[in-house]
Amino acid sequence: MLVLGIETSCDETSASVVADGKSVISSIIASQVEAHHPYGGVVPEIASRKHIEYIVSVVNEALIPFGIQKKQLAGIAVTQGPGLIGSLLVGLSFAKAFAYGLSIPWIGVNHLIGHIHSVFLEPECPQFPFVALLVSGGHTIIYHVTDYLTYDILGTTLDDACGEAFDKVSKMLGCGYPGGTIIGQLAEKGNPNAIQFPRTFIDKSNFDFSFSGIKTAVSRYIQTHPNSVHDELFDISASFQEAVVDVLTYKILHAARVTGCRSIAIVGGVAANTRLRQKVTESAIKENIHVFVPSIKYCGDNAAMIAALGYHYLINGESSCFDHDVYTKKKSKSL
Ligand code: KG4
Ligand code: ZN
């Protein structure tokens, strides 16, 4: 069963065709990095305009070169929220019109749960139940996943998202956007133990996070150490990254232990971070827990994960109505 996925929640215009929620036939991602780079972050109005510019050609690219006829599509899955309202509207409106024109069902899905489904695109995927660490630009959440469509939130960030901390630290260091990738690269050349930035566990027995303290600690270090941005760029990056990775590793392993899960999934843009993948994997092996991460191309925003998630609703006979709208924040506590 072929599902067309469409993702436009932030600054990536993406379309993908996935068979049976698992096999990626095509995955096209048009990045807007160059358009936002001069502003040091994503400008929502520019993002929506770029989505409008790209959406038709991105969908065509996901179909035509792969020999997929529109009539072969069984349904469309599109990100309904959370995300930037103008950006979401482009994808949702396109999906509604396309589904109407083809007389096929469409389903609006949650972007965050879509990220979890990125691990199902890989040949080796976790068995249920498992715990998932979602680390993206806007969210940091630990889920207990018991089925393709059944999730409970165990913990979340009380302030900044983890990716947001990477982005802001990059800005403080004058390195700009896209921050996470830049900090990850700088960190590889630095000493992770050079500066002892604080690890905020809040309460070691729960699964909540806080990243605003570490961000402030980096800012204060820069202010109190003249020339540090120039002289210690690599060490600051590596030490900041290590502090964040320590907390994420501790919490997700603790979640696996408490729930008795033998598998951990790490998903979302920050899941591309080499040190995070390495540290969680090394720590989990010691406890005979398996770690599953998507390929780098499926860590960031992509429509393949949206199609994979949408497939499970569509085979259950669930679809959305034409009066369904986008939502910018988390829709309900369980999502
Ligand atoms: O999932 P995503 O592509 O978009 C959202 O749904 O937010 O995540 C984007 C976030 C950004 O904050 C970006 O800085 C971060 O993922 N990121 C990384 C890396 N690559 C992207 N953070 C740390 N290390 C990376 N290698
Ligand atoms: Zn995302």
- How far is the centre of ligand 1, averaged over its atoms, from the C-alpha of 270 (Å)? 4
- Name the nearest CA neighbour of 211 among 175, 179, 182, 185: 179
For ligand 1, is residue 272 a contact (CB within 6 Å)? yes
At 331, is the pLDDT very low, low, confident or very high (cuts 50, 70, 90)? low
| Mean per-residue pLDDT, 179-189 | 97
For ligand 1, is residue 301 a contact (CB within 6 Å)? yes
| Mean per-residue pLDDT, 213-218 | 96
How many percent of the chain have pLDDT more than 70? 98
304 and 16 Cβ atoms separated by less than 8 Å: yes
For ligand 1, is residue 136 a contact (CB within 6 Å)? yes
For the stretch 131-165, pLDDT in tens is: 999 999 999 999 999 999 999 999 999 999 999 99
For the stretch 237-253, pLDDT in tens is: 999 999 999 999 999 99
DSSP E strands in the chain: the ranges are: 2-7, 12-19, 23-31, 73-81, 106-110, 130-135, 140-147, 150-156, 263-267, 290-292
For ligand 1, is residue 242 a contact (CB within 6 Å)? no
3-state class (DSSP) for residue 153: strand
- How far is the centre of ligand 1, averaged over its atoms, from the C-alpha of 178 (Å)? 8
Q: Which ligand is nearest to the CA of 138?
A: 1
Cα gap 116→189, rounded to integer Å = 31
Cα gap 118→115, rounded to integer Å = 5
Number of helices (H), then strands (E), in the chain: 11, 10
| 50 sits in which H/E element | helix 44-63
pLDDT at 120: 98
Cα gap 276→289, rounded to integer Å = 16
pLDDT at 333: 45
User: Which letter does DSSP use for residue 161 in this model?
Assistant: -
For ligand 1, is residue 268 a contact (CB within 6 Å)? yes
- Name the nearest CA neighbour of 37 among 179, 233, 193, 231: 179
Cα gap 247→210, rounded to integer Å = 10
For ligand 1, is residue 210 a contact (CB within 6 Å)? no
- How far is the centre of ligand 1, averaged over its atoms, from the C-alpha of 104 (Å)? 33
Cis omega (within 30 of 0) for bond into 294: no
62 and 23 Cβ atoms separated by less than 8 Å: no
pLDDT at 258: 98
Instruction: Give me the residue label for tokens 């050079």.
Output: 194
pLDDT at 227: 95
| Mean per-residue pLDDT, 171-186 | 94
DSSP E strands in 82-149: the ranges are: 106-110, 130-135, 140-147
Instruction: Give me the residue label for tokens 């909540």.
Output: 208
Nearest CA to ligand 1 atom 3: 300
